[in-house]
Structure formats: C-alpha cells, structure tokens
Chains A and B, each alone.
Chain A
Amino acid sequence: MEKAPAPSPALALALIVAGIVNRVGTDVQRERIIPALVSGGSFACLGYSEPDAGSDLASITTRAVRDGDHWVINGAKMWTTLAHEADWVLLLTRTDPDVPKHKGLTTFILPLDTPGITVKPVHTMSTERTNATFYDDVRVSDEWRLGAENGGWGVLTVGLAFERGVVGDTSHGVPLLRQFREWAEATGAIAEPLVRERMARAAIDNEVAKLLAQRSAWIAASGGLPGVEGSVSKLFAAPAFQKAAHWFQQAAGPAGLRAFHEAGAAADGWIDHASRSAPVLTIRGGTTEINRNNVAERGLGFPKAR
C-alpha cells in the first residue's frame, strides 16, 4: 500500500490556488472556493504541464472552444498531483491558436467531478503519487473561467510567483533537520564535529530560505507580485534541501537507505524519504533553469537568451 501523501503539499497547493482565486477570481468564485481551500476542507490541483509542454508552458495544446455561454475542453495534462483527491483543478487551456502563444491562453477552475475528466495515476520515486489527467469533450459554463478570456498567461504569472516564493518548496528543510537531529542524538553521531558542522550549515540554509520566502510573502502581502523574488527563493531553497538530504543520507549510512517504519531505519525512514523526494524540487514549479532565466532576464536585465 502506497504511503498516503503527507498533508503539506496538499495544503501548499490549496494555498497557491486560493491565492490565485483571491487575486483574479470573481466574487462568486472567491466565496465558493477560498474558505474551503484555506481551511483544508477541500483540495486543489494544477493543470499546467502537458506531455509536450513543461518549461515551455505557453505552448500547451489543451483546447477550450466557446459554445454560447459554455466551453468545450479537450486535451491532456501531466503531473496533476493530487487530482485523485482534489475537488478543483486549475486548468490552463488554449482558446485562440491564431495569436502569439502567450496571448491565446485562458485559465479555468473546474470541479474535478465534471463529466469527461479522467484521472490516471503516475507513480514516482519519492512514493508521491501524481497523475495524468484527460479531458474529453468536457463541457463547462463560462462561470468557471478564471480571469479574462485569453488572459491566462497573466493568471499563470500570479500563480507561479506564489508557488515559487510564498508557499512552494521552502520549508522542507526544517523538519528534515529536526528528524536528522533526533536520529543523530539517539545514535551518538551528533558528537562528531563533521556531523555537527553539516547540521549547522543546514540550519543556516533553512534560515536564509525562510527569510527569502518571508520577503516574497511580504511583497505579495503589500500588493506586489514577487516574480523575481519568488524565483530567487526557489533557486536557493530547492538545491539547499537537496544538499541537506544527500548529506544526511550519507551521514546516516545504511540506516539512511531504509524505508518508512523498517527496523533500523534512520529517523523512521524520513532520511530515505527526503533524499528520494529531493530531486523533483528543482524540476517542479518551474525548473531551476527556467528560474535562472527569469532572474537573469527580469532581475538582472540580461537580454533574452531564447
């Protein structure tokens, strides 16, 4: 039996979607969606990536065609994590194929029980289950459109800023350090100067990651959009967690390879889990390379490289 997804990614996703709906949604959408998401009463997932569109997200091909006051959606999405648990999917679609690719996109927030949506599991090395989702003649009312028609790229910009900077991938290092510390104290490894030094470095990285994320949150709370700052947060925090996870697993030796609840597993399997869930952090929510492009072009003012 697969280990159930930990609540934190679900909450993070819920907060991201709640943040977007709060910024760009209608009053009806705000009232219906935000309270349930913020309280953990319902979950949401992100329908951005496709089999052939990830970093080049503006080239997605899932199509939404207007039919009176309704839309008909056809296409497929990848990495729709939590789609099998969630009530809502934030869906990025193409509504005008005849304009430059960034200008013909529209976002919808759909109930996942809408007829025509199929969810299929995709299993990953981190034991986290993600999904592929399929949309076959999904017919929805225009009230589920989120933001302006053909204004989807703007909605996405809001979402990615929240995802990278405010709630995304910045806080895993704190529990990891705590879990490793408990193991190191129980085994006596904490007496080793090298172990202590690595723990101290992880603690410093956690502090910096926290401050960078707080800065992004402060910008968002002050009415700004932490586009560059969010990328900076993720560029720092994700590799820092990978470094810590890798090093703690090395320090734990064979015990760091044992899975959850196995006898002799370091930190009851959390060390193994951290090192298996670390690789995806520099990929999801905008890869490290895409975030570097963003910081270089929009933060430092370099010419566009693509």
Chain B
Amino acid sequence: MTIDFALSPDQEAVEELFTRFFAIESPPAVVRAAEPLGFSAPLWEKAIELGAPGMGLPAEVGGGGATLAELAIVAESIGRAVAPAPLVDHIVAARVLAEPAADVVDGSTIASLALQPADDSGLWSSVPAGAVAGLVVGVEGSDLIAVRSTPPGDGPRNHGSVPLADRSCAAGHREVIGDSTRWSVAFAEWKILTAASMVGVATRALELGVAYAKERHQFGRPIGSFQAVQHGFADLVGLVDGSRLLVHKAAWACDRRQPDPSAAGAALGEVDDNEVIEERPTEVEQYRQDVRRIISETFGPTDLDQMHASGSAKADRLYKALGERGLIR
C-alpha cells in the first residue's frame, strides 16, 4: 500500500495556471461589478479563450480530458476568487452528455444542471446558473433529460448573488439522455466540485484574515499576537485542510470509477446518512486488517499478554512475516 498526499506535476501546473488566471481576471472589482446577478460575461469570454469550459470533456470531442481530481483544483481556484463564472455547473453538466455539441464544448452555450427533479408543473426550481444557461440537464420522472431554451438572463436576487433561476423542463428542445443512474454520478461530481470551490473560499478567507490580524494594531501590538485571536484562526486550519483532503479523496475515488458517495456528500456537509453510515474499509484499515491477519497466521490465536510473556523470538518472526509480505520495510 502506498499513499501520497502530494499534487502530481500535472495538478501543480493546473493549480498555478488557474490560480493566476482568476487572481488576474477576477479581482474584487470584477466580482462586485457582476452583482447582483453574479455572472460576468467578459470573464466567461476569457475562460472560453483559456479552454476552461471544455476541459472536463474527453479529447475525442475536443475537450481537455481533465480528471475530476484536476477539476477539483480548478474549482478551488474559482472559489479563491469567488469568480462570477459558472464553470463548475457547466463542466459537470457537459460531462453528463454523451455527445456534447460544439457550442457546449467551447462554452459559447452555458450548460447547467437542475439539482432537484421537476415539480408537477414541470418546473426545475433554483437551477444553478439557470439565469444564463442555454442548456439544462435534469431529472423528470425517471428520465434524465437535456433541455435547450433561451436563458432568462436574470433570476431572483439571492443571498449569495449567484445566477440561479427557475427553469421549465417542458419548454424548448427536449432530449432524453439517460436515467437516474447517470444523474447520481453527475450529482456526485457537482457536490465534489462545489465543495472544492468552497474549500477555495475558506482558504482565501483564512489567508486574508491571518494577513489582516498581522497588520491591524491594537494596544500597541498586532492583534495577531494575542492568543485569543490566534486560537480562533488555529482551529480553522484543520477544518480547511480536512475539507480539502476529503474533496480530493472523493475526486480520486470517482476517477478510479469507485464513486464514494459518502465522501462526496461529506465534502459538502450535506449527507445522506444512509450512504455515510455504510462505511467501507479504506486502504489503511485494510492494512490494519492485513497486519492482524498475519499476526494470527504467524502465531495462531494469541493476545498481547501472551506476546508480552513470550518475548522477542515471536517479535522476530512477526517482523520477518510482515517484511515478506511487503507491509514493513
């Protein structure tokens, strides 16, 4: 078993590119100017020039072939800049389509997905990017359908200044593209990438807070020199780091075609408890089980007291047995 928490060289390149891109193209002035709708058409154009809308699609359809783990890094950089560009929604919706049209691959038509099934009147409520999406993918009954229609360009003003809108699943050009199984994969991807963008928001917020606490003075000292201030920040590090690790584990699991809905839901903090409670063994638990099994194979049924009494001959045998199986070096 090996475990590696470092980003790969490819992932590092993606991180550097997109963090720089959004830092330059989506400074606070751009974010403010896009309110209250929460969509910047010029920023979207620049994302198109970069090839970002299609990067999660296979190379055969003209996409960038990025893995979900790489897309999570893109999503985090979006969050860092709270960029008014619905890349996460678009990327996930485009990945559901078996044969995405050229305008979806290049991003000249924005795609999104309805998070809840259509209601009795055929309405998808609060579709992310619904104000600007020309293609919406969602569930109606037991079908997964894609609907092309003209976006309203506006939506209800909301707490997050995001371009959500209610959309009809009946009006426009409809196409059945699959069933709810495909939907659940898309929904898991959306949760992972949305969680990744929130990790970016939290990371940047922590950085800004720490920087401010070092520069703001009270009582003749930076407020960051007071323990009461420091400890509030210190507690956030584990929450932010832990969230990032969970997001990357979930993305990694999906990339390996082993969707781990528990990690995906957990990453967003909105979980289906049925899924989470069914814990599956991780590699480390597997390792522990292997060690326990080898101990019992090597010594027969035993316990620690017996091992304690019998001394180092057993220890040598155990060491050898573990080494032969590659479990220790």
- Residues of chain A touching chain B, judged by Cβ–Cβ distance below 8 Å, are 7, 10-11, 35-36, 38-43, 174, 181, 196-197, 199-200, 203-204, 206-212, 214-215, 217-219, 229, 232-233, 235-236, 289, 291-297, 299-305
9 closest A-B pairs by CB: A296-B230, A39-B315, A236-B238, A208-B242, A200-B273, A292-B234, A211-B245, A295-B234, A196-B273
B277 touches A199 (CB 8 A): yes
Given pairs A7-B304, A207-B249, 6 additional interface contacts (CB within 8 A): A11-B304, A39-B307, A208-B246, A211-B242, A235-B235, A302-B230
Chain B 61-78 interface residues, beta-carbon cutoff 8 Å to A: none
CB neighbours of B307 from chain A (8 A): 39-41
B: number of interface residues (CB 8 Å) = 50
B159 beta carbon closer than 8 Å to chain A: no
CB of A299 within 8 A of CB of B224, answer no
In whole angstroms, what is the CA distance A251 to B263 when docked? 25
Residues on the A chain within 8 Å of B279, using CB: 174, 203, 206
Of the candidates B4, B230, B282, which one forms a contact with A305 in the assembled complex, judged by CB atoms under 8 Å apart? B230
- Residues 239-293 of B contacting A (Cβ, < 8 Å): 239, 241-243, 245-246, 249, 262-263, 266, 269, 271, 273-274, 276-277, 279, 282, 284
Chain B residues within 8 Å of A36, by CB: 311-312, 315
A302 and B224 contact, CB distance less than 8 A: yes
- Chain B residue with the shortest CB-CB distance to A233: B238
The interface residues of chain B lying within 8 Å CB-to-CB of A233 are 238
Would B312 and A41 count as touching, CB distance under 8 A? Answer: yes
The secondary structure that dominates the B interface is helix
- Complex Cα distance, B225 from A305, in Å, reads 5
Check A41 against B314 for contact (C-beta < 8 Å).
Answer: yes
**A210 and B282 contacting across the interface, CB-CB below 8 Å:** yes
A305 to B222, CA, bound (A): 11
Q: Given A199-B277, A303-B224, A305-B225, decide whether A40 and B304 contact each other with a Cβ distance below 8 A.
A: yes
Q: In the bound complex, what is the Cα–Cα distance between A52 and B87 (angstroms)?
A: 57
**Measured between alpha carbons, how far is A200 from B235 in the docked complex, in Å?**
22
Are B312 and A35 in contact, CB atoms less than 8 angstroms apart? yes
Q: List 26 A-B contacts (CB under 8 A).
A: A36-B311, A36-B315, A41-B307, A41-B310, A200-B271, A200-B273, A203-B277, A204-B246, A207-B262, A208-B245, A215-B245, A217-B3, A219-B5, A235-B235, A292-B234, A293-B227, A293-B230, A293-B234, A295-B237, A299-B234, A299-B237, A302-B225, A302-B230, A302-B233, A304-B225, A305-B226
Contact of B311 with A41 in the complex, beta carbons under 8 Å: yes
A299: chain B residues within 8 A (beta carbon): 234, 237
The minimal Cβ–Cβ distance linking B290 to chain A, given in whole angstroms, is 15
Bound complex: CA A214 to CA B224 (Å): 30
Whether, in the assembled complex, B213 has its beta carbon less than 8 Å from a beta carbon of chain A, the answer is yes
Which chain B residues border A212 with CB–CB below 8 Å?
238, 241-242, 245
Q: Quick one: closest B residue to A217, CB to CB?
A: B3
B120: Cβ under 8 A from any A Cβ: no
Residues of B close to A304: CB separation below 8 A = 225
A235 engages B238 (CB within 8 Å)? yes
Q: CA separation between A212 and B248, bound complex, in Å? A: 12
Docked-complex contact A42 and B235, CB < 8 angstroms = no
Residue of A nearest to B249 (CB): A211
Shortest CB–CB separation between residue A181 and chain B, in angstroms? 7
Alpha-carbon separation in the docked complex, A302 to B206 (Å): 13
Q: How distant is A217 from chain B, measured CB to nearest CB, in Å? A: 8
